[in-house]
Structures are given as structure tokens and as C-alpha cells.
């Protein structure tokens, strides 16, 4: 079975959108008041935590494209593309939240991406 390029692009796009979902979820989480009851109410005006809402919306959009993408093609090719999302997120964490990129993070991420690749290999 060959993997159509269009399906690869769909999954890549899903991972890209999903990584931005994570960025919005993180920036929204920083605004959350004590207690989860206040999840969508932010500290500052306009009080509705639109960052969290955007993050959730992006995750939903991403999962739509992901499901469309993996309908056809080899999972051994498509799954590693999903885990590329972790690498985008590492970049965005550095750029938007000034998080340090340590050797431990790179090593852990490398193991996980390799692991997702092999799970995909076995899921033919």
C-alpha cells in the first residue's frame, strides 16, 4: 500500500494546527484563576478566556484533519508525521514562552518520536 501525498499533507497540517492548539492552551492556562470552576473565565477583561477556547477549537480542527488523513495510507508513514507536532511545539515553547531547551528534553523527545514511528510500523 502506498501513502498518497494528499494524506501526508493532511496529517502534517493536523500536527501543525494541533501544536498551535497547545500554545493557546498553555497561554490560556496561565490566565486561569485558582480552581477549575473558573476555567473559561479569565482574570482580566474581557473575562472570557478566549485563549483556552481557541486552543480547544484548534484541537478539534486538528483532530478532524487527522482522521481524514489516516483514512488512507500507511500508518508507519503517517504516525511519525503526527509526532512532528511535538517538535513544532518544542519550537513554539522556546519562541513564545522562553522555555529552556535542554539536552534532557531533546533526548526524551527523540525516544518518543522513534517510539511513535515503531508503533506506526507495527500497525499496518
Residues lying near another protein in the complex (CB under 8 A) are found at 19, 22-23, 25-26, 28-30, 32, 36, 39, 52, 56, 59, 83, 86, 89-90, 92-94, 97, 99-105, 107-112, 114-123
Phi/psi-derived region of residue 4, left when phi > 0, alpha when psi is between -120 and 50, beta in every other case = beta
Residue 119 C-alpha cell reads as 508503533
Residue 45 C-alpha cell reads as 477583561
Closer residue to another protein, CB minimum distance, 5 or 104:
104
**Least distance to another protein, CB of residue 103, Å:** 6
Closer residue to another protein, CB minimum distance, 25 or 77:
25
Q: What residues contact residue 58 under an 8 Å CB cut-off, 6+ apart?
A: 17, 18, 20, 21, 24
**Least distance to another protein, CB of residue 91, Å:** 9
**In DSSP terms, which residues pair with 13 in a beta bridge?**
none
Amino acid at each position: 500500500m502506498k501513502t498518497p501525498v494528499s494524506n501526508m499533507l493532511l496529517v502534517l497540517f493536523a500536527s501543525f494546527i494541533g501544536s498551535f492548539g497547545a500554545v493557546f492552551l498553555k497561554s490560556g492556562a496561565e490566565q486561569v484563576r485558582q480552581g477549575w470552576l473558573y476555567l473559561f473565565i479569565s482574570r482580566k477583561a474581557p473575562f472570557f478566556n478566549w485563549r483556552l477556547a481557541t486552543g480547544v477549537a484548534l484541537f478539534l480542527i486538528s483532530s478532524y484533519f487527522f482522521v481524514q488523513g489516516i483514512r488512507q495510507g500507511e500508518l508507519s508513514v503517517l504516525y511519525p508525521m503526527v509526532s512532528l507536532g511535538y517538535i513544532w511545539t518544542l519550537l513554539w515553547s522556546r519562541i513564545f514562552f522562553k522555555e529552556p531547551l535542554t539536552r534532557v528534553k531533546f533526548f526524551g523527545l527523540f525516544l518518543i518520536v522513534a517510539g511513535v514511528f515503531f508503533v506506526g510500523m507495527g500497525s499496518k
